[in-house]
Structure 1
Amino acid sequence: MELTKEFNVARAFDFRGVELSRKEITFSNYFEGYKEFDDWVNNLANIHNKSKVFIDAEPTGHYWFLLYNHIISKKLSSDISYDFVLVNPFHVKRSKELDDNTQTKTDRKDSNVIAFLVKDARFSYIPQQSEEYIELKNYCDLRQKTLKEINRYTNNIIRWTDKYYPEIRTIFSDIVCRSSLAILYDLSFPNVVCNKSPNDIVKSFRNAKISSGIGLKKANEIIDLSKNSVGLSHGNNVAKFEITSLIDTYRFLMERLEKINIEIKRVTEMIPYYNKLSAIDGLGTVTISNIIAQIGDIGNFNSPKQLIKLAGLSLKENSSGKHKGVTTISNRGRSKLRSALYIAVITLVVNNEEFKLLHKYYKTRPVNPLTGKQSLIALFGKLLKLIFGIVKNNKEYDPNKFLEGIKPKLIELNIAA
Structure 2
Amino acid sequence: MNPVVGLDVAKGESQVQAFSDKSKPYGKSFSMKHTREELDQFIGFLKEIEEVTGQVPMVILESTGHYHSPIVQCMEEHEILYILLNPIISYQAKKSSLRKVKTDVIDAYQLCVLYYKEDFEPHKNRGIQLLNLRNLSRQQEIVTNMYVEVKLHFHTILDQVFPEYRKVFGDLYSKVSLSMLKEYPTSEAILTAGESRLVESVMEFCPRRSGQWAREKAKKIMDSASRNPFQKVVYESHLINLRMYIDLLFHYQGHLSDLEGRIVALANEVEEYKIIQSIPGIGEKIAATIISEIGEIDRFNHPKKLVAFAGVDPSVHSSGKFTATINHITKRGSSRLRHSLYLAVLCGIRSSRNKKLKAFYDKKKSEGKPAKVAIVACINKLLHWIYALLKRKETFLDLA
Tell me how far apart the structure 1 counterparts of residues 245 and 177 of structure 2 sit (CA, whole Å). 13
Q: CA deviation at 1:289?
A: 0.8
Q: Which residue of 2 aligns with 1:67?
A: 71
The SS at the match of 2:57 is strand
Query: Is residue 162 of structure 1 aligned with residue 166 of structure 2?
Result: no
Q: Are 2:49 and 2:56, in contact at CA under 8 Å, matched by a contact in 1?
A: no
Tell me how far apart the structure 1 counterparts of residues 251 and 387 of structure 2 sit (CA, whole Å). 38
Would the alpha carbon gap of residues 266 and 259 (structure 1) be closer, same or farther in structure 2, given more than 3 Å must change? same
Q: Which residue of 1 aligns with 2:13?
A: 7
Deviates further, 371-380 or 250-259? 250-259
Would the alpha carbon gap of residues 167 and 304 (structure 1) be closer, same or farther in structure 2, given more than 3 Å must change? same
Amino acid at match of 2:265: R
Tell me how far apart the structure 1 counterparts of residues 10 and 283 of structure 2 sit (CA, whole Å). 39
Would the alpha carbon gap of residues 228 and 375 (structure 1) be closer, same or farther in structure 2, given more than 3 Å must change? closer
Tell me how far apart the structure 1 counterparts of residues 315 and 273 of structure 2 sit (CA, whole Å). 33
Alignment of 1:1-400 (within 5 A): 1-21=7-27, 23-46=28-51, 48-75=52-79, 82-102=80-100, 104-172=101-169, 174-209=171-206, 211-212=208-209, 214-227=213-226, 229-231=228-230, 233-236=233-236, 238-325=237-324, 326-350=326-350, 351-365=353-367, 369-400=368-399
Q: CA deviation at 1:307?
A: 0.5
Amino acid at match of 2:354: N
Q: CA deviation at 1:173?
A: 5.8
Tell me how far apart the structure 2 counterparts of residues 121 and 27 of structure 1 sit (CA, whole Å). 26
Deviates further, 204-213 or 159-168? 204-213
Amino acid at match of 2:397: D
Q: CA deviation at 1:119?
A: 2.1
Q: Which residue of 1 aligns with 2:3?
A: none
Q: Are 2:276 and 2:291, in contact at CA under 8 Å, matched by a contact in 1?
A: no
The SS at the match of 2:26 is coil
Q: CA deviation at 1:254?
A: 1.2
Gaps of 5+ in 1: 76-81, 401-416
- Give the length in aligned residue pairs: 388
Q: CA deviation at 1:227?
A: 2.5
Normalising by structure 2, we get a TM-score of 0.90
Q: Are 2:290 and 2:340, in contact at CA under 8 Å, matched by a contact in 1?
A: yes
Tell me how far apart the structure 1 counterparts of residues 283 and 182 of structure 2 sit (CA, whole Å). 35
Q: CA deviation at 1:258?
A: 1.5
Tell me how far apart the structure 1 counterparts of residues 207 and 150 of structure 2 sit (CA, whole Å). 22
Q: Structure 1: which 4+ aligned runs deviate by more than 4 Å?
A: none
Q: CA deviation at 1:100?
A: 4.7
Percent of matched pairs sharing the same residue: 21
Tell me how far apart the structure 2 counterparts of residues 114 and 65 of structure 1 sit (CA, whole Å). 18
Gaps of 5+ in 2: 1-6
The SS at the match of 1:25 is strand
Amino acid at match of 2:316: E
Would the alpha carbon gap of residues 216 and 173 (structure 1) be closer, same or farther in structure 2, given more than 3 Å must change? closer
Deviates further, 331-340 or 130-139? 130-139
Would the alpha carbon gap of residues 391 and 228 (structure 1) be closer, same or farther in structure 2, given more than 3 Å must change? closer
Q: Deviations over 1:278-335 (max 9, x none)?
A: 2222222211111111100113322111100111122222233443321221112111
Q: CA deviation at 1:228?
A: 5.8
Amino acid at match of 1:86: L
Q: CA deviation at 1:340?
A: 1.0
Amino acid at match of 1:383: L
Tell me how far apart the structure 2 counterparts of residues 210 and 142 of structure 1 sit (CA, whole Å). 33
Q: Are 1:295 and 1:337, in contact at CA under 8 Å, matched by a contact in 2?
A: yes
The SS at the match of 2:216 is helix
Amino acid at match of 2:226: K
